[in-house]
Amino acid sequence: MFKYWLKNRFLLDILAPVALVVIAAFVFVAPMFGDLGEARLDISLYENEKLNFDVPSPSYDQVSQLENESFITSVFPYFYTKTNLSVDGKTRETNLFFSDAFDKLEQTMYCKSRVIETADQSYSNPVLVDYQFVQDTGARIGSTVSVTLGSSRIDFQVSGIYETNIYYDGGAVMAKWEGAQKDAVMAISPRTAYSGAYIQATDYQQCKNYLETQYKPYGRLKDRSEFATQEAYDIHYNAFMSSNYANEITDFSVRGQESLSKAKAKENSANLYTIIPYIVIAVILIMYNLLMWLRKSERCYFSKRKVSGGGNAVVYYLFSIFVQAALIIGGMTIVNLVVSSNMTLYVPSAIIVSKSSISILATALISIVVAVENMILAHKARK
């Protein structure tokens, strides 16, 4: 019976599930993880409730004044520059942020809910990198990241890897601004003010009203000594003081609305792709087994020549059930693991585990359905 099965079914029983698994991998599983990764970029950023506003160029004094407002919880000021960062010989142009307020990281894109990996030890010169930077440079926890600012070369140690910071095109990294790093930036920066600040509001509406009507980026207000004439200074001062800067303030809840709805739609589409491949595989496998049973070689063999009333037909179909089940369950599990581990976008391991579990359960269910079908066919073949 085994030889007969080897001759008539073995190859097809391998080919059919393998073909289905390969098709499912390319048509469903890869797009599913791709969509999940893309959706995750926006969801993890804009669902961060502590990230309320981004304001331009506050002065040093202004940060303290803002924090004293009753409707503001805290202010995270930052410096920014776009520069080349090197990691083990690989160089990448990156949005580099410096901040002297690392104790307030929780209200930024570098909060705990977006952590992928953190260092066990603390570094004196830490830099927090995002997933995109890691993908491009191969940086790991503890890697040395070098940057040249003016004539100074500064080294940082990667102390945390976070989800890609899509608020900035190409992602961004955040370095602690103190000691040599601070001196290097201060030595070449022409302006003594922050580049911007993230604001966490206690009272969102009151904070929004205040920023839109009263906020001025005092970091841009220059000193009288910088101007050759009083007239030039007056033009500058009047232009600065008479302006409203509401259009230069980012409200994350507004900005994230459209992105979030698109991301949620993408996530729903990805979730649909989690189920569809198994329905398709089940239908095709059921039809495949039915077609095999309809073949003259099997029907004649079991009903007339060999096993009328005997049990060998069951053994024959058991071989098929075993091979198909093993290939489908094993194949889809491998596909899920291979696709998820080769993604260019980050998907949290909890989601990968959940999708892989669904895959194993679904393929096990398909195997049971195929087994029942084959047992019915075996029973019919014996007659």
Q: Does 153 bind another protein (CB under 8 A)?
A: no
Q: Does 14 bind another protein (CB under 8 A)?
A: no
- Kindly state the tokens that stand for 367: 């195997």
Choices 53-61, 114-122, 352-360, 370-378; region in contact with another protein by CB under 8 A: 53-61
Q: Does 319 bind another protein (CB under 8 A)?
A: no
Let me know: does 367 contact 328? Beta carbons within 8 Å. Answer: yes
Q: Which of 10, 71, 80, 218 binds another protein (CB under 8 A)?
A: 80
Between 290 and 353, name the residue whose CB sits nearer to another protein. 290
Cα(202)–Cα(66) distance, rounded to whole angstroms?
Answer: 12
- Under rule CB under 8 A, residue 178 binds another protein: no
Binding residues among 210-229 for another protein as defined by CB under 8 A: 219-220, 222, 226-228
CA of 18: how far to CAs of 25, 115, 127, 155, in Å? 10, 37, 45, 50
DSSP state for residue 106 in the 8-state scheme: G
Would you put residue 29 in left (φ > 0), alpha (ψ -120 to 50) or beta?
alpha
Stretch that binds another protein, among 183-191, 300-308, 327-335, 347-355 (CB under 8 A): 183-191
Of the candidate residues 18, 115, 180, 246, the single one contacting another protein (CB under 8 A)? 246
**Which residues is 127 bridged to in the sheet?**
158, 175
Residues 6 or more apart whose Cβ sits within 8 Å of residue 271: none
Q: How far apart are CA 219 and CA 239, in angstroms?
A: 14
Q: Which of 68, 169, 305, 309 contacts another protein by CB under 8 A?
A: 169
Angle between helices 349-382 and 312-341 (to 10 degrees): 160
Query: By the criterion CB under 8 A, which residues form the site for another protein?
Result: 12, 15-16, 19, 23, 27-28, 31, 54-57, 79-83, 95, 98, 149-150, 168-169, 185, 188-191, 195-196, 219-220, 222, 226-228, 231-233, 235-236, 239-240, 243, 245-251, 254-255, 280, 284, 287-288, 291-292, 294-297
